[in-house]
């Protein structure tokens, strides 16, 4: 007897992953097909909460289509995500698709508990919520993104990929602050580090660029976006990073101060009559490049420098000085450095920042070739001359692709 042929064709395999990277005032998203990591749609909602919020959606399926743009008030992350879901649906890529295998979320602070991507359940949500005080700009947005996505597709696995995970390998000597151990432990005060998905991806890509395995190379990664951080990666393992308990420590950023003497805070409380909350806003939102010169976009700062603007010049010099200090520090931490890799918006695009940060470090084997440095490209590339002992590289980051891969690896059906 022959078995009857099935009346319905087998369901399309669920091989797609939607990635949501919810920032304090933006959502970046990508829909990917994980069979070949092809991007089916990408987009960005920015200026959430303002009158002139902007949603830009680009369909890429089948050779791509025209980008669509909306400028209208989008009140919060929930509304933003619903607008994203509508854009995807308009391309036949709606969240109701059976081909969607999972939604991957960037979660900035995972504390000490989460060392790997994790399927989100109530306990995960609770922990991410508990960590809000140490990532006030990021974790609330991440949570809204997760909750909205869960409401839209309650049946689908939702996976959290933590910025902190890559840094959990740091030795205690790098992770502990030299403050009273009991107080630190009671309040879980330590260096957690952030942008870990990017540091992991870029350090691996840098090894590839050098034709080596990640275990063979020591890399200093400089992730210079709106938030900025440096990391020292030995043989693929993070051994130090510049951000700390929160994403405020370390490099000068778009609106964040990075390192300051902690006594600045008591001084402002006692002498400046400022509250803790006011100082929090000052250091996180009104400092860094914007506090120094009124602009946080490196393109605008360079334009002003070229016009002879003094405040912009000083802001640029302070930014670069801090960067150079961290390159020197991580050189010493690693002992031997094979490559320094620049990444994210500033690192990938601002040749003057790369040139100035490496200038004067010839004795360390670090040199930038002016011509190579001025090439504009989306490809990973080396910008140091062939004779240099240490490679200087520009390595575009792709946090969304890395989140998609980690998400899919967790939920994809196994063949074994």
Ligand X SMILES: CC(=O)OP(=O)(O)O
Ligand Y SMILES: Nc1ncnc2c1ncn2[C@@H]1O[C@H](COP(=O)(O)OP(=O)(O)O)[C@@H](O)[C@H]1O
Site for ligand Y in 261-290 (CB under 6 A): none
Binding letters toward ligand X, positions 17-36, x by CB under 6 A: ------x-------------
Answer yes or no whether residue 225 interacts with ligand X by CB under 6 A: yes
Q: Which of 104, 117, 196, 225 binds Mg ion (CB under 5 A)?
A: 225
The nearer residue to ligand Y, 299 or 389, going by C-beta atoms, is: 299
Q: Which of 39, 167, 195, 204 binds ligand X (CB under 6 A)?
A: 195
The nearer residue to Mg ion, 26 or 148, going by C-beta atoms, is: 26
The set of residues, in sequence order, having a beta carbon less than 8 Å from that of 196 and lying 6+ positions away, is 162, 163, 164, 165, 166, 167, 238, 241
Q: Is 51 annotated as a binding residue?
A: no
Structural tokens at position 47: 């200026």
Q: Is 310 annotated as a binding residue?
A: no
The nearer residue to ligand Y, 319 or 408, going by C-beta atoms, is: 319
Q: Is 347 annotated as a binding residue?
A: yes
Q: How far is CA 345 from CA 297, 353, 372, in A?
A: 10, 11, 18
Q: Which residues in 217-229 are b (16+ Cβ under 10 Å) and which e?
A: bbbbbbbbbbbbb
Q: Which of 165, 202, 346, 395 binds ligand Y (CB under 6 A)?
A: 346
The nearer residue to ligand Y, 100 or 283, going by C-beta atoms, is: 283
> How far is Cα 286 from Cα 256, in angstroms, rounded to an integer?
7
Answer yes or no whether residue 294 interacts with ligand Y by CB under 6 A: no
Site for ligand X in 254-293 (CB under 6 A): none
Q: Which of 128, 121, 122 is nearest to 157 (CA)?
A: 121
Q: How far is CA 326 from CA 192, 317, 356, 360, in A?
A: 17, 14, 14, 14
218, 211 contact by CB (below 8 A): no
109, 131 contact by CB (below 8 A): yes
Q: CA triplet 115, 185, 143: central angle to 5 degrees?
A: 45
Catalytic residue among 36, 155, 163, 369: 163
CB of 393 to Mg ion, least distance (A): 19
Is 163 catalytic? The answer is yes
17, 104 contact by CB (below 8 A): yes
Q: Which of 344, 358, 361, 401 binds ligand Y (CB under 6 A)?
A: 344
Q: Which of 168, 203, 206, 226 binds ligand X (CB under 6 A)?
A: 226
118-119 and 158-162 strand pairing? antiparallel
- Residues of the shown chain interacting with ligand X in the complex, contacts defined by CB under 6 A: 23, 108, 138, 163, 194-195, 225-227, 247
Q: Which residues are annotated as a binding site for substrate?
A: 106
Q: Which residues are annotated as a binding site?
A: 21, 28, 106, 223-227, 297-299, 345-349, 399
Catalytic center residues: 163
- Residues of the shown chain interacting with Mg ion in the complex, contacts defined by CB under 5 A: 225
- Residues of the shown chain interacting with ligand Y in the complex, contacts defined by CB under 6 A: 225-227, 254, 296-299, 344-346, 349-350
């Amino acid at each position: 007897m022959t078995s009857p042929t099935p009346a319905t064709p087998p369901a399309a395999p669920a091989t797609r992953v939607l990635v949501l990277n919810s920032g304090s005032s933006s959502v970046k998203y990508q829909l990917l097909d994980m069979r070949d990591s092809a991007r089916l749609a990408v987009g960005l909602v920015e200026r959430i909460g303002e009158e002139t919020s902007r949603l830009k959606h680009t369909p890429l399926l089948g050779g791509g289509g025209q980008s669509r743009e909306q400028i209208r008030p989008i009140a919060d992350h929930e509304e933003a995500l619903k607008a994203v879901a509508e854009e995807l649906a308009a391309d036949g890529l709606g969240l109701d698709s059976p081909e969607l295998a999972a939604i991957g979320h960037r979660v900035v602070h995972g504390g000490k508990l989460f060392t790997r991507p994790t399927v989100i359940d109530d306990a995960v949500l609770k922990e991410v919520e508990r960590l809000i005080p140490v990532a006030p700009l990021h974790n609330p947005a991440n949570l809204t993104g997760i909750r909205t996505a869960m409401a839209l597709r309650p049946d689908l696995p939702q996976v959290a990929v933590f910025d902190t995970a890559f840094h959990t390998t740091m030795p205690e000597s790098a992770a502990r602050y030299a403050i009273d151990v009991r107080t630190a432990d009671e309040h879980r005060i330590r260096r957690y580090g952030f942008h870990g998905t990017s540091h992991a991806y870029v350090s691996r890509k840098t090894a590839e660029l050098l034709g080596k395995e990640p275990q063979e190379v020591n890399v200093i990664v400089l992730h210079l976006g709106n938030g900025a951080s440096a990391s020292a990666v030995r043989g693929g393992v993070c051994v130090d990073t510049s951000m700390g308990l929160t994403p405020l420590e370390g490099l000068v950023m778009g609106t964040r101060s990075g390192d300051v003497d902690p006594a600045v805070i008591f001084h402002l409380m006692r002498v400046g009559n400022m509250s803790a909350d006011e100082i929090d806003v000052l250091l996180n939102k009104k400092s860094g490049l914007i506090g120094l010169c009124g602009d946080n976009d490196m393109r605008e700062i360079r334009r002003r420098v070229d016009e002879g603007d003094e405040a912009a010049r000083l802001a640029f010099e302070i930014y670069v000085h801090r960067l150079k200090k961290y390159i020197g520090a991580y050189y010493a931490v690693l002992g031997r450095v094979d490559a320094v890799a620049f990444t994210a918006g500033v690192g990938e695009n601002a040749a003057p920042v790369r040139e100035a940060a490496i200038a004067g470090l010839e004795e360390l084997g670090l040199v930038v070739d002016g011509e190579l440095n001025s090439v504009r490209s989306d490809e990973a590339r080396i910008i140091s001359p062939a004779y240099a002992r240490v490679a200087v590289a520009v390595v575009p980051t792709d946090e969304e692709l890395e989140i998609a891969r980690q998400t899919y690896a967790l939920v994809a059906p196994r063949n074994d």
